[in-house]
C-alpha cells in the first residue's frame, strides 16, 4: 500500500524539519573518539540553574498525575513578571507548538502568509501544512526587508511572521522600523513577533512590542524558555496577546499540551530570573570573541543580537561544515536557506568550546 497516495495531496511534498545533528549520530557516522561539541541548534551551553534543576527533581514524584491543563500558575507568574493580565498569556509545548497551533486556528484555505526568507524554517513548514499561499520575502543585507513585506500584503493576507532577531542571521529590526511597518496595516491581519532570542538582545533601539501590543490588538509576541533559560529539552514557550486570541488558542490545544516538569521548571526559572544576567553577559563576550576571530580570518559575519552567528566563508573556502564535523564540531550548514553553498550558522558555546571551534577553523582556512 502506498501511504503517500492516501495522504492529503497538499501534504505530500512537505519537507520535514531537519534538526542539528545529534552528538551520538556524529560519533557513530564519523567514528569520532574524542569529545564532540554541538554548536548547531542555538541551545544554551550551560545546564539549567541549580534552583531550576531542584524544582524538576522535586516534581518527579508527581508525574503519575496529569499536568495542569492550561498551565494556570505559569500563566499567572509570566503575567505578573511582565505586568500583564494573566488572560493575555498562552503556554505552548515550545513556542513552536504555538506557531503551529495559531496557523491551524486562524488560517483559511484561500488566505496568505507572509514571512521573511531565510528565517525560522518552521514558517514555511506550517504554511505548507495549512496548504495556503506563502509569500516569502528575501532579506536585504541579512536583515528583514519590512518595506517589501508590507508591499506583499494583499486582500488575502491573514498572518505575517516577523522573526526579531532573525534566525539564522542574528540581525534585528529597530523600534522605529517596526512602527513604520505597522502603520496602516489592517487590524484583521495577525502580526506575530517571534522573539525567541529576546533575552540576549542588547541593542537599545530594539522594538518594545509589548507596549505596542497595548494599542494594537492584532500583535502577538512569542517567547521561549528554550534559549536563555536552558530548557530546550523540556519544551515550553509562550505567547503574549489580546485575551481574545488566547480564548481561541485554548479551543485548539491538546488537553495537556505542556508537561508537569516543563511547567515547574519554567516557574522556577522565572522565580530566579535574576540569575541569568551573568549568562547573558558571558554570551556577549563569547559571541564577540568568535565573531572578531572569524572576521579577522576573512569570513563575513553579520552583527548578531542572539546566541548564534551566521558565517559566510570567503571565495574558495569549501566544505567547512563537513571538515568541522570530522574534527568533532557540529555547526549548522545553511545550504537549504539560500545563503550560499558554504555558509553556516554556529551557536555560541562555552569558552572552551568556542576556543576549540576557532582553533579548528583556523586550521581549515
Residues lying near ligand PLP in the complex (CB under 6 A): 42, 94-96, 120, 163, 167, 194, 196, 224, 226, 232, 237
Q: Toward ligand PLP, which CB reaches closer, 101 or 327? A: 101
Least distance between ligand PLP and beta carbon 232 (Å): 6
Cβ-contact 47, 354 below 8 angstroms: no
Q: Toward ligand PLP, which CB reaches closer, 95 or 327? A: 95
Phi, psi torsion values for 310, nearest 5 degrees: -95, 135
Q: Toward ligand PLP, which CB reaches closer, 258 or 290? A: 258
Q: What is the separation, in whole angstroms, between the first and last Cα of the chain?
A: 51
Q: Toward ligand PLP, which CB reaches closer, 94 or 327? A: 94
Least distance between ligand PLP and beta carbon 230 (Å): 11
Closest CA to 229 of 239, 221, 237: 237
Least distance between ligand PLP and beta carbon 234 (Å): 9
Q: Toward ligand PLP, which CB reaches closer, 132 or 221? A: 221
Cβ-contact 143, 177 below 8 angstroms: no
Residue 162, beta-bridge partner list: 193
Least distance between ligand PLP and beta carbon 310 (Å): 13
* Grid cell digits, residue 10: 497538499
Q: How far is C-alpha 269 from the chain's CA centre?
A: 18
Q: Toward ligand PLP, which CB reaches closer, 121 or 312? A: 121
Least distance between ligand PLP and beta carbon 67 (Å): 17
Cβ-contact 169, 140 below 8 angstroms: no
Which residue lies nearest ligand PLP, judged by its C-beta?
94
Least distance between ligand PLP and beta carbon 106 (Å): 18
Q: Toward ligand PLP, which CB reaches closer, 129 or 317? A: 129
Least distance between ligand PLP and beta carbon 195 (Å): 8
Q: Toward ligand PLP, which CB reaches closer, 62 or 81? A: 81
Cβ-contact 357, 37 below 8 angstroms: yes
Least distance between ligand PLP and beta carbon 38 (Å): 13
Residue 221, beta-bridge partner list: 193, 240
Q: Helical H runs in the chain?
A: 3-6, 23-30, 50-59, 72-82, 95-106, 122-130, 146-151, 175-182, 209-215, 243-252, 260-271, 277-296, 320-326, 351-364
286: number of CA atoms within 13 Å, CB side? 27
Taking CA 338 as the corner, what is the angle to CA 337 and CA 341, rounded to the nearest 5 degrees?
100
Query: Angle, to 10 degrees, between the axis of helix 260-271 and the axis of helix 72-82?
Result: 20
Amino acid at each position: 500500500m502506498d501511504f503517500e497516495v492516501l495522504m492529503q495531496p497538499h501534504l505530500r511534498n512537505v519537507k520535514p524539519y531537519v534538526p542539528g545533528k545529534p552528538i551520538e549520530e556524529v560519533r557513530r557516522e564519523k567514528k569520532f573518539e574524542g569529545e564532540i561539541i554541538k554548536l548547531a541548534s542555538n541551545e544554551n551551553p550551560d545546564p539549567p540553574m541549580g534552583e531550576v534543576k531542584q524544582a524538576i527533581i522535586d516534581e518527579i514524584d508527581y508525574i503519575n498525575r496529569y499536568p495542569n491543563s492550561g498551565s494556570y500558575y505559569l500563566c499567572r507568574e509570566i503575567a505578573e513578571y511582565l505586568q500583564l493580565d494573566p488572560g493575555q498569556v498562552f503556554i505552548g509545548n515550545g513556542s513552536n507548538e504555538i506557531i503551529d497551533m495559531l496557523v491551524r486556528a486562524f488560517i483559511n484555505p484561500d488566505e496568505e502568509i507572509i514571512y521573511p526568507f531565510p528565517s525560522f524554517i518552521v514558517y514555511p513548514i506550517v504554511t505548507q501544512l495549512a496548504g495556503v499561499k506563502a509569500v516569502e520575502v528575501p532579506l536585504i543585507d541579512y536583515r528583514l526587508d519590512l518595506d517589501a513585506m508590507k508591499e506583499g500584503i494583499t486582500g488575502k493576507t491573514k498572518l505575517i511572521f516577523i522573526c526579531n532577531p532573525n534566525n539564522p542571521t542574528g540581525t534585528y529590526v529597530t523600534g522605529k522600523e517596526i512602527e513604520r511597518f505597522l502603520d496602516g496595516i489592517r487590524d484583521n491581519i495577525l502580526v506575530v513577533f517571534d522573539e525567541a532570542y529576546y533575552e540576549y538582545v542588547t541593542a537599545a533601539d530594539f522594538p518594545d512590542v509589548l507596549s505596542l501590543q497595548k494599542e494594537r490588538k492584532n500583535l502577538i509576541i512569542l517567547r521561549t524558555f528554550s534559549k536563555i533559560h536552558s530548557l530546550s529539552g523540556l519544551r515550553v514557550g509562550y505567547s503574549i496577546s489580546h485575551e481574545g486570541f488566547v480564548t481561541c488558542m485554548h479551543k485548539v490545544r491538546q488537553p495537556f499540551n505542556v508537561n508537569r516538569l516543563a511547567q515547574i521548571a519554567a516557574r522556577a526559572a522565572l522565580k530566579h530570573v535574576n540569575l541569568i544576567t551573568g549568562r547573558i553577559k558571558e554570551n556577549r563576550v563569547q559571541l564577540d570573541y568568535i565573531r572578531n576571530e572569524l572576521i579577522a580570518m576573512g569570513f563575513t559575519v553579520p552583527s548578531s543580537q542572539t546566541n548564534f552567528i551566521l558565517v559566510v566563508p570567503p571565495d574558495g573556502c569549501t566544505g567547512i561544515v563537513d571538515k568541522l564535523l570530522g574534527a568533532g564540531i557540529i555547526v549548522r550548514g545553511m545550504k537549504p536557506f539560500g545563503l550560499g553553498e558554504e555558509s553556516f550558522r554556529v551557536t555560541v558555546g562555552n569558552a572552551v568550546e568556542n576556543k576549540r571551534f576557532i582553533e579548528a577553523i583556523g586550521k581549515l582556512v
